[in-house]
Structure 1
Amino acid sequence: MTGLTAQDREAIAPFRPDRRDGLARNLTLAPHWSPGGRGFWYRAETVSGPEYRTVTAATGAQAPAFDHAALRAALPEGSDFAALEILSLEPGVTFRAGAQIWHWDGASLTPRAPRPNAPDELPSPDGTLVLLRRAGDLWLREVATGEERRLTDSAEAHFEWAKSPDQSLETIHIARQGLRLPPVAIWSPDSRRIFTHQLDERAVRVVPLVQNIPDDGSYAPQIWSLRNAFTGDPDESLPMAHQAVIEVETGEVRPLRPVHVTETSLIERREAWWSADSARLFYVDHDRFETKLTLCDVDAATGTEREVLAETSASFAEVNPAFGALPNIRLLDRTGEVVWFSQSDGWGHLSLHDLATGARKARITRGDWTVCDLLHVDEDRREAIVLAGSPEDGPDPYLRRILAAPLDGGPARVLAEGAGDHGAHLREVGWPDLLAEAERLGSAPAAVAPDGAHLVETLGTFDALPRHVLRRTSDGAVVAELGEAKSDINWPLPERLTLTAADGATRLFGLLWQPEGPAPEGGWPLVDMVYPGPQCIQTPRAALTGEDLPKLAMAAALTRLGFAVLMMDGRGTPYRSKPFHDLCHGNLGDPGFLSDHVAAIRALCAERPALDAGRVGIIGHSAGGHAAARAILEYPGVFHAAVATAGSHESRAYNRCWPEKWQGPLVVAGDGSSSHDAVANAPLAHRLEGALFLGHGDMDENVLPAVTLRLARALDEAGKRYELMIAAGKDHATFKTDPAAWEAQLDFLVRHLAPR
Structure 2
Amino acid sequence: MSTEEHLSPTDYARAEQMLAPYRARRVPRVTPHWIADGTRFWYEVGGRYRLVDPAAGTRRDAFDHERLAAELSRATGTAVDPADLPVTAPEFDDDGVRFAALEGRWRFAGGTLTRLDDEPPGPMEIPSPDERHVAFRRDGNVWVRDAGTGEETALTDDVEPGVEYGGLTEAMSSRMLMRRFGLGPPFLAFWSPDSTRLLVHRLDQRGVAEQVLVESSPADGGRPVEHRYRYPIPGDEAQATMSWVVIDVAERRLVRQQEDPRPIVHPVTLTHAWWSGEKGDAVHHLRQSRDARTLELVRLDPSSGEVTTLVTETGQTRVDPTPQLGEPAMVRVLDSGEILWWSQRDGWGHLYRYADGVPIQLTSGPWLVRKVLWVDEDTRQVWFLATGLVDDDPYARQICRVGLDGTGFTRLTHDDLDHDAESPAEGGHLLDRASSPSVPPRSRVLGGDGQVLVELEAPTVDALVELGWSPPERFRTTAADGRTPVYGLLWRPHGFDPQRRYPVIDSIYPGPQVHRAGPAFDSLMPGAGEALAALGFAVVAIDGRGTAGRSKAFHDHSYRHLGDAGALEDHVAVIRELGLRHPWLDTERVGITGHSGGGFATARALVAHPDFYSVGVATSGSHDARVYVTMWAEQYHGDGDPRDLATAELAGQLRGKLLLVHGELDDNVHPYQTMRLVDAFVEADVDVDMFVVPGVEHSLLGRGHHVTRRTWDYFVRHLHGVEPPRYRLAPLPVSPGIAGLG
Normalised by the length of structure 1, the TM-score is: 0.88
Quote the Cα distance in structure 2 between the aligned partners of 1:263 and 1:3: 47
Counterpart in the other structure of 1:647: 621
Paired residue secondary structure (2:531): helix
Counterpart in the other structure of 1:525: 503
CA shift in 2, pair 1:450/1:133, >3 Å:
closer
Counterpart in the other structure of 2:515: 537
The runs of 5 or more residues in structure 2 that have no matched partner are 723-742
Contact 1:459 1:467 in 2 (8 A): yes
Counterpart in the other structure of 1:403: 400
Give 1:489 deviation, angstroms: 2.5
Quote the Cα distance in structure 2 between the aligned partners of 1:181 and 1:527: 38
Give 1:378 deviation, angstroms: 1.6
Paired residue secondary structure (2:464): coil
Structure 1 residues 563-578: aligned runs within 5 Å:
563-578=537-552
1:698 aligned residue (651, 664, 669): 664
Counterpart in the other structure of 2:354: 353
Counterpart in the other structure of 1:262: 265
Quote the Cα distance in structure 1 between the aligned partners of 2:703 and 2:396: 28
CA shift in 2, pair 1:211/1:2, >3 Å:
farther
Contact 2:32 2:41 in 1 (8 A): no
Q: Which moved more, 1:2-11 or 1:320-329?
A: 2-11
Contact 1:585 1:663 in 2 (8 A): yes
2:446 aligned residue (467, 471, 478): 471
Counterpart in the other structure of 1:208: 212
Counterpart in the other structure of 2:480: 502
Paired residue secondary structure (2:324): coil
Give 1:421 deviation, angstroms: 0.7
Give 1:87 deviation, angstroms: 1.0
1:225 aligned residue (228, 248, 272): 228
Structure 1 letter corresponding to 2:439:
A
Give 1:253 deviation, angstroms: 2.8
CA shift in 2, pair 1:319/1:702, >3 Å:
same
Contact 1:274 1:280 in 2 (8 A): yes
CA shift in 2, pair 1:697/1:126, >3 Å:
same
CA shift in 2, pair 1:384/1:181, >3 Å:
farther
Q: Which moved more, 1:497-506 or 1:216-225?
A: 216-225
CA shift in 2, pair 1:167/1:527, >3 Å:
same
Give 1:516 deviation, angstroms: 4.5
Counterpart in the other structure of 1:685: 651
Structure 1 residues 157-236: aligned runs within 5 Å:
157-181=161-185, 183-214=187-218, 216-234=219-237
Structure 2 letter corresponding to 1:180:
G
Once the two structures are superposed, residues 266-295 of structure 1 have per-residue CA deviations (whole angstroms, 9 ceiling, x without a partner) of 34x243334434332211111112111111
Counterpart in the other structure of 1:593: 567
1:423 aligns with 2:423: no
Give 1:523 deviation, angstroms: 1.3
CA shift in 2, pair 1:606/1:657, >3 Å:
same
Paired residue secondary structure (2:364): coil
Structure 1 residues 64-213: aligned runs within 5 Å:
64-75=61-72, 76-77=75-76, 78=78, 81-97=85-101, 101-112=105-116, 114=118, 117-181=121-185, 183-213=187-217
Once the two structures are superposed, residues 96-115 of structure 1 have per-residue CA deviations (whole angstroms, 9 ceiling, x without a partner) of 33775432222312244525
Quote the Cα distance in structure 1 between the aligned partners of 2:166 and 2:438: 48
Quote the Cα distance in structure 2 between the aligned partners of 1:505 and 1:585: 20
1:239 aligns with 2:243: no
Quote the Cα distance in structure 1 between the aligned partners of 2:489 and 2:657: 25
Structure 2 letter corresponding to 1:421:
D
Quote the Cα distance in structure 1 between the aligned partners of 2:696 and 2:123: 26
Structure 2 letter corresponding to 1:512:
L
Quote the Cα distance in structure 1 between the aligned partners of 2:509 and 2:625: 16
Give 1:4 deviation, angstroms: 5.6
1:664 aligned residue (635, 638, 647): 638
Quote the Cα distance in structure 2 between the aligned partners of 1:262 and 1:481: 43
Paired residue secondary structure (2:17): helix
Structure 2 letter corresponding to 1:252:
R
Q: How many correspondences in the alignment? A: 706
Contact 1:3 1:750 in 2 (8 A): no
Quote the Cα distance in structure 2 between the aligned partners of 1:449 and 1:631: 43
Give 1:60 deviation, angstroms: 4.3
Structure 2 letter corresponding to 1:67:
D
Once the two structures are superposed, residues 444-486 of structure 1 have per-residue CA deviations (whole angstroms, 9 ceiling, x without a partner) of xxx359452x322111123232212332322x23345422224
Counterpart in the other structure of 2:328: 326
CA shift in 2, pair 1:469/1:526, >3 Å:
same
Give 1:141 deviation, angstroms: 3.8
1:751 aligns with 2:717: yes
Contact 2:17 2:23 in 1 (8 A): no
Paired residue secondary structure (1:373): strand
Give 1:144 deviation, angstroms: 4.5
Quote the Cα distance in structure 2 between the aligned partners of 1:42 and 1:177: 24
CA RMSD, Structure 1 to Structure 2 (Å): 2.6
Counterpart in the other structure of 1:434: none
Counterpart in the other structure of 2:376: 378
Normalised by the length of structure 2, the TM-score is: 0.89
Paired residue secondary structure (1:416): coil
Contact 2:389 2:398 in 1 (8 A): no
Contact 1:367 1:391 in 2 (8 A): no
Once the two structures are superposed, residues 280-317 of structure 1 have per-residue CA deviations (whole angstroms, 9 ceiling, x without a partner) of 22111111121111111122222211110112221101
The runs of 5 or more residues in structure 1 that have no matched partner are 426-446, 668-674
1:718 aligns with 2:684: yes
Structure 2 letter corresponding to 1:84:
T
Contact 2:443 2:455 in 1 (8 A): yes
Contact 1:27 1:484 in 2 (8 A): no
Contact 1:605 1:612 in 2 (8 A): yes
Counterpart in the other structure of 2:434: 459
Quote the Cα distance in structure 2 between the aligned partners of 1:328 and 1:34: 23
Structure 2 letter corresponding to 1:587:
H
CA shift in 2, pair 1:404/1:554, >3 Å:
same
Quote the Cα distance in structure 2 between the aligned partners of 1:486 and 1:691: 39
CA shift in 2, pair 1:107/1:254, >3 Å:
closer
Contact 1:520 1:755 in 2 (8 A): no
Give 1:177 deviation, angstroms: 2.7
Counterpart in the other structure of 1:51: 48
Quote the Cα distance in structure 1 between the aligned partners of 2:441 and 2:151: 52
Once the two structures are superposed, residues 568-599 of structure 1 have per-residue CA deviations (whole angstroms, 9 ceiling, x without a partner) of 11112222111211111111121110011111
CA shift in 2, pair 1:472/1:282, >3 Å:
closer
CA shift in 2, pair 1:688/1:167, >3 Å:
same
Contact 2:239 2:265 in 1 (8 A): no
CA shift in 2, pair 1:310/1:745, >3 Å:
same
Once the two structures are superposed, residues 196-217 of structure 1 have per-residue CA deviations (whole angstroms, 9 ceiling, x without a partner) of 2221111111011111111x33
Could you tell me the percent identity over the aligned residues? 35
Quote the Cα distance in structure 2 between the aligned partners of 1:533 and 1:383: 33
Quote the Cα distance in structure 2 between the aligned partners of 1:736 and 1:406: 49
CA shift in 2, pair 1:313/1:154, >3 Å:
same
Structure 2 letter corresponding to 1:458:
R
Once the two structures are superposed, residues 308-333 of structure 1 have per-residue CA deviations (whole angstroms, 9 ceiling, x without a partner) of 0112221101111111111112232x
Paired residue secondary structure (1:555): helix
Q: Which moved more, 1:163-172 or 1:683-692?
A: 163-172
Give 1:536 deviation, angstroms: 0.8
Paired residue secondary structure (1:489): helix
Contact 1:41 1:55 in 2 (8 A): yes
Give 1:124 deviation, angstroms: 3.5
Paired residue secondary structure (1:620): strand
Counterpart in the other structure of 2:598: 624
1:610 aligned residue (548, 572, 584): 584
Quote the Cα distance in structure 1 between the aligned partners of 2:146 and 2:548: 47
CA shift in 2, pair 1:201/1:92, >3 Å:
same
Counterpart in the other structure of 1:633: 607
Once the two structures are superposed, residues 464-515 of structure 1 have per-residue CA deviations (whole angstroms, 9 ceiling, x without a partner) of 32212332322x2334542222452222211111110111000111111122
CA shift in 2, pair 1:190/1:223, >3 Å:
same
